[in-house]
Amino acid sequence: MSDSRKDAGLPPAAGPTTRRRFSRQTWINLGLQLCALVLAFLFTSVILLVAGAPPWQAYAEIAKGAAESLTDVSNVLVAWVPLLLAAAGVLVTFAAGLWNIGVEGQIVLGAVLTTLVLRLLQDTTLHPALIIVLAMIAGIVGGALWAALAGVLKTFGGVNEIFGGLGLNFVATALALWLIFGPWKRPGIGSMSGTEPFPDDLGLPTVGGLRLSLWSLGLGIVAVIVVYILLERTHVGLRLKAVGRNKRAAFLLGVPTWQYGMLAFVVCGALAGLAGGIQVTGVYHRLIPSISSGYGFLGLMIGMLILYRAVWVAPVALFFAALNIGSIQLPIVLKLDSTLSGVLQGALVLFVLLVEGARQRYLRRARVAASSGPGAPPPVSDVGPGAPADIPGEAL
Amino acid sequence: MEVRLSDIRKHFGPVKANDGITLTVPAGTIQGILGENGAGKSTLMKILSGFQPADGGRILLDGQKVVMRSPADAIRHGVGMLHQDPMDFPPMRVVDNLLIGAPGRLIPRRSEAMAAIGELAGSLGLSIDLKAEVGSLTLGERQQLELLRLLWLGARVLILDEPTTGISAHQRQELFDTLRRLAAQDKTVLFVSHKLEEVQELCTRVAVLRQGRLVGEALPPFRVDRLVTMMFEREVSPGERAECSSGPPLLRLSNLGAEHGRIRFDGLDLEVCAGETIGLAGMEGSGQSLLLQACSGLAPAIAGRVRLSGVDLTGKSYHHFQKRGVAYVPATRLEEGLVPGLSLTEHFLLTDRKPGFFINREKGRRVAEERISEFNIKGAPANPVESLSGGNQQRALLALVRPDAKLMLLEQPTRGLDVESVIYLWSKLKERCARGEAIIFTSSDLDELLRYSDRILVFFAGRVSGPIDAAGTTVDELGQMIGGGSIDIVAAASAGDPEAAHV
């Protein structure tokens, strides 16, 4: 697990004596992040030049594609919602020191269970709004259960959550494909375009002629706020961080560690499942094979990019959504693939992590130099996957 | 090799860690470096071993000025440092550990290296299984391994930072013998310690640092009171043995057995009264820590019962024990005790008994400030724990013990602390005893065991002695028991020895 995660996220000491240094440090950090941003754009520009496209025009096209019309802006917001949910979710697992790679599959399972409930209830006399609510709850439960599965594998099976999550992602995708081409196929022939669309009244209400639903937007924003409060203002969040930074010490200090690990998985899975539910009820109105659209992985990237600080989720997710929507134009206008947004997003994450890594190195050197007392640099405490009740070796 | 440090300076902001230190150590010397925590001895050693550059001053080896930019650089010049915590790779074999730091080629020549190291070990009277995994070695053996590695890489100046912390008395003796042999071969040894008796026993010269300056040098015979005065600018008296009146029975172990790996004990009967302090003596790894873990629910009992205030807690979880007032304080501070990255305030918030849902930062800070002043921790509430010095981390660990704890289980509570910190910590602990808390602690320091315990259990090769009265025991007697002499055995190691259980 990366060093930067362990060291990041804690505000420096802000006592009266250190306040001046603190603000200077903030400026330096901000400058470094800006530096990373510039480097990412430079890197992407080089790629564009190699591909024979004028970088400036490409960026202009992306900006135009994301903000030219009201429809563009609303589409950006539509893409913003699942990113908000996924990124907020992975922040919870990151806090507990877990790499929930399985977030992608959790979105799929959320979508599958939402679809299931909609299919079961669409012909009943229940009020459509009630059906939607039930379907969304089913989606939340689906995502949470899929995440809990990864958690159980980790806690009781000793399967690293990265491998467990990766495996479960494949299973989730396979499950969705099987449903689309099997039991839930359209009358006649199953197709990549997904299941039979649901009637309009089983979709979230949208604004005017746009695809944007204020309900889903609201849910996304509320989720981010809730996660922020959870991590920064509650004892639950503090315990999650303690588990993430030193599982053994947290256990000895009285935190039920594996339970908190599971809690992190379940909270993240619930948010991912909600994202899946929103994709079904608010965007596609059916289950499609690529229902998660990579939002889970993008959420992980956002989590890393913002160095696990919840305040930054909303703006960075918006930026990523704008890149995604903006680059849809590129193939038509510049004969470039729309995956250019992915290149830029990936480059951003890499450069931010690189700059952060360099900063941590510098800080650690300064810290090691500053500690004249006995003792080695802070130990790397990777408690690793495993039994919740493992006892340490008897004095080595 | 002769080491000459000339006007070494190192500043960290306003703190002058080394303020113009000049020191000459002739070849073949075992040079003691004394000083309390923060006196600058570690900084000086880190500069000499290439871990950090000095701001000013010169290092001369055999009269040649050298510049060392890294530990690898230092070892090329013949300077090697043995750290307090072993810096090795536990899951790897001994021989591979040795090869890692060696200037190698693509394919390491194991057999060649093994022969060379075996010879080296033999010449020093050390025996080490080169094919064993490092993780299976004791701390003392890992230290020998590191020592061999440095010598094999050509170290002619050896720096040892608190090398006797956490190793057994026997291993300490082996280490000292080895160091004497090395000194006889004209190697130079710098021995950093705050254990005066060790310095007295081993060193042929002593330098005392205080606040970044060299405040004095001494040749044997050393006068301990003078060294203490130089270290602390005053005489420190450890205080008299505090007698305690034992209260009602608090912890009762009956026929208790526990097992972890090779370590095991059986048939232990013990009653601990409120206000009592029980010391656990014995060679490292003889089962003392296992007993602490069995008393805290961390290690399951394989036989017998554990009762606290009359309630049977056998088989309950650690957190259940904790709720009942049992506090376990591990020996390793940043590995097991504290959460690096969290501040002192956050640690106190974590251990809040009635936390509620939302964090009350104001209350957290207040509690932190109270405990910081109560335990004399040098640090602010917002400081991350890893920024504190070792002694202050230890104080923080003890400050985290809930005020309503009834039984404190302390694993090596004063490991690596200077005399003054030890005295301070014990005064805090004894205050808690006076309020009716009981303490069980492990230590490898016989003086500490005798001074602060009411009764002592001695562990030897899986056997546990009956509780002995600390007041009526001398260091020599205790030392002999730890070494296996005349133990009045009430518990026996294994089923294969059923007789002993009834002696």
Query: A373 vs B341: CB contact, 8 Å cut-off?
Result: no
Residue B454 main-chain phi, psi, to 5 deg: -90, -45
For residue range A276-305, list pLDDT tens digits in order: 999 999 999 999 999 988 899 999 999 988
Q: What pLDDT, on the 0 to 100 scale, is given for residue B193? A: 78
Per-domain residue ranges of chain A: 33-368
Q: What percent of chain A has pLDDT over 70?
A: 86
Number of other residues whose CB lies within 10 A of the CB of residue B47: 25
- Chain B segment 60-99 residues within 8 A of A by beta carbon are 83-85, 87
Residue B28 pLDDT > 60, yes or no? yes
Q: Is B166 on the interface with A (CB under 8 A)?
A: yes
Spatial CB neighbours of B200, under 8 Å, sequence gap ≥ 6: B220, B222, B224
| Closest CB to B390 among A241, A248, A374 | A374
Cα distance between residue B320 and residue B432, in whole Å:
22
Residue A375 pLDDT > 60, yes or no? no
| Closest CB to B40 among A239, A370, A372 | A372
Residue A6 pLDDT > 80, yes or no? no
Average pLDDT over residues B370-397: 86
Q: What pLDDT, on the 0 to 100 scale, is given for residue B327? A: 93
Q: Where are the alpha helices (DSSP H) in A161-288?
A: 161-181, 214-233, 235-245, 247-252, 257-278
Of A293-307, B47-61, B483-497, the poorest mean pLDDT is in B483-497
- Helices A295-305 and A103-121: angle between axes, nearest 10 degrees: 140
Query: B166 vs A395: CB contact, 8 Å cut-off?
Result: yes
Of A156-165, A220-229, B93-102, B212-221, the poorest mean pLDDT is in B93-102
From the list B276, B270, B291, B319, the residue with the least C-alpha distance to B406 is: B276
Of A307-311, B215-219, B243-247, the poorest mean pLDDT is in B243-247
Q: What percent of chain B has pLDDT over 70?
A: 87
- Helices A103-121 and A128-157: angle between axes, nearest 10 degrees: 140
Q: Where are the alpha helices (DSSP H) in B169-240?
A: 169-184, 196-202, 224-232
CATH code for residues A33-368: 1.10.3470
Q: What pLDDT, on the 0 to 100 scale, is given for residue B38? A: 66
On whether the CB atoms of residues A100 and A110 are closer than 8 A, the answer is no
Read off the pLDDT band of A381 (50, 70, 90).
very low
CATH topology for B3-232? Rossmann fold (3.40.50)
Read off the pLDDT band of B246 (50, 70, 90).
low
B400 or B229: which leads in pLDDT: B400
Cα distance between residue A32 and residue A20, in whole Å:
19
C-alpha count within 13 angstroms, C-beta hemisphere, residue B64: 8
Read off the pLDDT band of B107 (50, 70, 90).
low
Residue A229 pLDDT > 90, yes or no? yes
Average pLDDT over residues A160-187: 93
From the list B233, B219, B229, B230, the residue with the least C-alpha distance to B32 is: B219
Burial zone of B233 (CB within 10 Å; 0-12 exposed, 13-18 middle, 19+ buried): exposed
Of A42-51, A256-265, B7-16, B338-347, the poorest mean pLDDT is in B7-16
Q: Taking the complete model, does pTM exceed 0.90, yes or no?
A: no
On whether the CB atoms of residues B81 and B192 are closer than 8 A, the answer is no
Chain A residues whose CB is inside 8 A of the B341 CB are 6-7, 9-10, 241, 245
Residue A212 in 3-state DSSP? Answer: coil
Long-range contacts of B351-355 (CB under 8 A, 24+ apart): B351/A253, B351/A254, B351/B400, B351/B402, B352/A235, B353/B402, B353/B404, B355/A235
Chain B residues whose CB is inside 8 A of the A21 CB are none
On whether the CB atoms of residues B16 and B212 are closer than 8 A, the answer is yes
Q: What pLDDT, on the 0 to 100 scale, is given for residue A188? A: 76
Cα angle A274-A68-A72, degrees, rounded to a multiple of 5: 20
Residue B35 pLDDT > 90, yes or no? no
Q: What percent of chain A has pLDDT over 90?
A: 52
Q: What pLDDT, on the 0 to 100 scale, is given for residue A298? A: 92
Q: What pLDDT, on the 0 to 100 scale, is given for residue A235? A: 93
Q: Is B194 on the interface with A (CB under 8 A)?
A: no
Q: What pLDDT, on the 0 to 100 scale, is given for residue B225? A: 72
From the list B76, B43, B156, the residue with the least C-alpha distance to B67 is: B76
Average pLDDT over residues B241-252: 70
A387 or A207: which leads in pLDDT: A207
Average pLDDT over residues A40-60: 89
- Chain B segment 394-423 residues within 8 A of A by beta carbon are 400, 411, 416
Greatest CA separation for chain B: 70
C-alpha count within 13 angstroms, C-beta hemisphere, residue B89: 11
On whether the CB atoms of residues B239 and B448 are closer than 8 A, the answer is no
Average pLDDT over residues A37-49: 90
From the list B235, B88, B77, the residue with the least C-alpha distance to B157 is: B77
Q: What pLDDT, on the 0 to 100 scale, is given for residue A272? A: 97
Number of other residues whose CB lies within 10 A of the CB of residue A293: 18
Write down how long chain B is: 503
- Chain A segment 200-239 residues within 8 A of B by beta carbon are 233-239
Residue B491 pLDDT > 60, yes or no? no
For residue range A63-80, list pLDDT tens digits in order: 988 988 899 999 999 999
Sheet architecture: strand order including B79-82: B79-82, B157-161, B188-193, B30-34, B205-210, B213-218
Q: Is B12 on the interface with A (CB under 8 A)?
A: yes
Read off the pLDDT band of A104 (50, 70, 90).
very high
On whether the CB atoms of residues A211 and A72 are closer than 8 A, the answer is no
Residue A336 pLDDT > 90, yes or no? no
Average pLDDT over residues B447-469: 85
Number of other residues whose CB lies within 10 A of the CB of residue A245: 23
Q: What pLDDT, on the 0 to 100 scale, is given for residue B103? A: 66
Residue type for A182, please?
G
Read off the pLDDT band of A387 (50, 70, 90).
very low
From the list B203, B262, B249, the residue with the least C-alpha distance to B227 is: B203
Tokens matching residue A216:
């889903």
Q: How many CB pairs under 8 A join A and B?
A: 171
Of A2-11, A307-316, B182-191, B229-238, the poorest mean pLDDT is in A2-11
From the list B53, B3, B5, the residue with the least C-alpha distance to B28 is: B3
On whether the CB atoms of residues A375 and B84 are closer than 8 A, the answer is yes
Q: What pLDDT, on the 0 to 100 scale, is given for residue B326? A: 93
Average pLDDT over residues B318-325: 92
Q: Is B349 on the interface with A (CB under 8 A)?
A: yes
Per-domain residue ranges of chain B: 3-232, 249-325+402-502
Query: A378 vs B334: CB contact, 8 Å cut-off?
Result: yes
Residue A29 in 3-state DSSP? Answer: helix
Cα distance between residue B485 and residue B500, in whole Å:
15
Highest mean pLDDT of the ranges B15-19, B161-165, B449-453: B449-453
Per-residue HEC secondary structure of B91-119 comes to CCEHHHHHHHCCCCCCCCCHHHHHHHHHH
Query: What average pLDDT does chain A have?
Result: 84
Average pLDDT over residues A323-330: 87
Residue B266 pLDDT > 90, yes or no? no
Tokens matching residue A390:
């493992």
Shortest distance, CA B76 to any CA of chain A (angstroms): 22
Residue B337 pLDDT > 50, yes or no? yes
Of A318-327, B102-111, B169-178, the poorest mean pLDDT is in B102-111
- Please identify which residue in the block is written with the tokens 């089913």: A138
Query: A379 vs B298: CB contact, 8 Å cut-off?
Result: no
Query: B351 vs A376: CB contact, 8 Å cut-off?
Result: no
Q: Is B37 on the interface with A (CB under 8 A)?
A: yes
Helix (H) or strand (E) holding A115: helix A103-121
C-alpha count within 13 angstroms, C-beta hemisphere, residue A280: 36
Shortest distance, CA A236 to any CA of chain B (angstroms): 7
Q: Is A374 on the interface with B (CB under 8 A)?
A: yes
For residue range B127-180, list pLDDT tens digits in order: 777 777 777 777 778 888 888 888 888 889 999 987 876 677 788 888 899 999
| Residue of chain B whose Cα is closest to the Cα of A4 | B341
For residue range A344-355, list pLDDT tens digits in order: 888 988 998 888
On whether the CB atoms of residues B439 and B410 are closer than 8 A, the answer is yes
Average pLDDT over residues A86-111: 95
Query: What average pLDDT does chain B have?
Result: 82
Query: A235 vs B384: CB contact, 8 Å cut-off?
Result: no
Cα distance between residue A236 and residue A231, in whole Å:
7
Cα distance between residue B99 and residue B93, in whole Å:
10
Helix (H) or strand (E) holding A55: helix A55-67
Cα distance between residue A333 and residue A71, in whole Å:
18
CATH topology for B249-325+402-502? Rossmann fold (3.40.50)
Residue B242 pLDDT > 60, yes or no? no
